[in-house]
Amino acid sequence: MASNAVSVEERRERARRRKPRRQIRMSDVLAWITLILLLLFSLVPMAWMLSTSLKTQFAALQLPPEWIPSNITFEHYIRLLSPGSEVGQEFLRYFWNSIFVSTMTTLAAVAIAVPAGYAFSKFRFPGRQGFFIAVLIRNMFPAIVFLIPLFIMMRTFGLIDTHLALIITYLTFGLPLAIWLLKGFYDNIPTELEYAARIDGASRFQAFIRIIMPLSTPGIIATAIYAFIIAWNEYVYALTFLSSRNLLTLPVGLQRFFDEFVTNWPGLMAASFVMSIPVVIIFLVLQRFFIQALTEGAVKS
């Protein structure tokens, strides 16, 4: 009897210690519904793009449209990626131009934003706050406002129809946010770490390279992703500044799929899908650094 009484008491004690089951709240349900809708909003266009790229020209114009093609074909991808075809030569040239412009823009943005963000964060100099506000004011205006002034400036310096014009232009768009992002990240790195390195005999530059730079890696990678995406997807300035067919970037080069009487929708969707792959891969591989930079840098600054 005593053992039975003990066992009953133990069961009661375990029941009291057991955590209550978490109730499903309406706010949780709404949050999940919102996330699912946002996910569908992002994935449905990509799925439609992929589906159309696997159709023939005739099947792409049929109504009602098929989500899953009855006759799947990869001819459009083969033509795009084949250096032997005319379409493939042009597409690969445009692809290389976009890679070159985006990469150079990214390298230049990181090279400028890293010391600028560090200076705004750690140095105290006259006009520091005013200069920083002036940098951020650029983001108050839409990009199209600067089209004519930048075109006049590039024409004055003889940079029209060059990739350098695009690189400089994309820097004017990407640098303000990049500097702001890195400044917020540097603000959250304790100054004592740099002081300790300098006490051990390191110069300010050595302390920056050996201490600050490794700690700011997520912010630098996020800046690089942001600059690359801006340059990769930009259309209006590339269309305005470039006239030579050999210099066109992918967003402008996709126009070749639009003819006067008919549009090659499967070819256009295949080219658009291939164009989206580098950005998706970069973001998927480096997304943890991007999220960490936003939470540790810009949100707290």
* Predicted confidence (pLDDT) per residue in 230-265, tens digit: 899 999 999 999 988 899 999 998 887 766 556 778
- The pLDDT value recorded for residue 123 is 82
Residues facing residue 258 across a β-bridge: 263
Q: How confident is the model at residue 158 (pLDDT cuts 50, 70, 90)?
A: very high
Measured between alpha carbons, how far is 132 from 179 in angstroms, rounded to an integer? 9
**Segment among 156-165, 217-226, 283-292 with least mean pLDDT:** 283-292
What pLDDT is attached to residue 34? 92
Q: At residue 6, does pLDDT exceed 60?
A: no
140 DSSP 8-state letter = G
Check if the beta carbon of residue 122 is closer than 8 Å to that of residue 191. yes
Higher pLDDT, 154 or 13: 154
What rounded mean pLDDT belongs to the chain? 82
Task: Record the tokens describing residue 148, joined without a space.
Answer: 């004519």
pLDDT at residue 68, as a whole number? 82
**pLDDT digits over 184-198, tens only?**
888 888 888 888 888
Tokens of 5: 């009484």
Q: How sure is the predictor about 178, in pLDDT bands with cuts at 50, 70 and 90? A: confident
Average pLDDT (20-28) is 68
Sign of CA dihedral 125, 126, 127, 129: positive
Average pLDDT over residues 135-141: 78
In angstroms, the CA 238 to CA 241 distance is 5
Write phi, then psi, for 185 (nearest 5 degrees): -70, -45
* Contact between residue 285 and residue 275 where contact means Cβ atoms under 8 Å apart: no
Q: What is the pLDDT of residue 300?
A: 46
- What pLDDT score was predicted for residue 157? 92
Question: Which residue, 174, 139, 134, 168, is CA-closest to 151?
Answer: 168
pLDDT of 25 over the 80 cut: no
Res. 175: pLDDT tops 60: yes
Which pLDDT band holds residue 19 (cuts at 50, 70, 90)?
low
pLDDT band at 7, cuts 50/70/90? low
Contact 266, 53 (CB under 8 A): yes
- 109-121 pLDDT per residue, tens: 999 999 988 888 8
Residue 169: band (very low, low, confident or very high) from pLDDT cuts 50, 70, 90: very high
% of the chain at pLDDT higher than 70: 86
How confident is the model over 62-104, as pLDDT tens digits? 777 778 888 888 888 888 888 887 888 888 999 999 999 999 9
Taking residues 294-298, what's their average pLDDT?
A: 52
Higher pLDDT among residues 272 and 294, named by residue: 272
User: Which amino acid appears at position 291 of this protein?
Assistant: I
Q: How far apart are CA 207 and CA 198, in angstroms?
A: 7
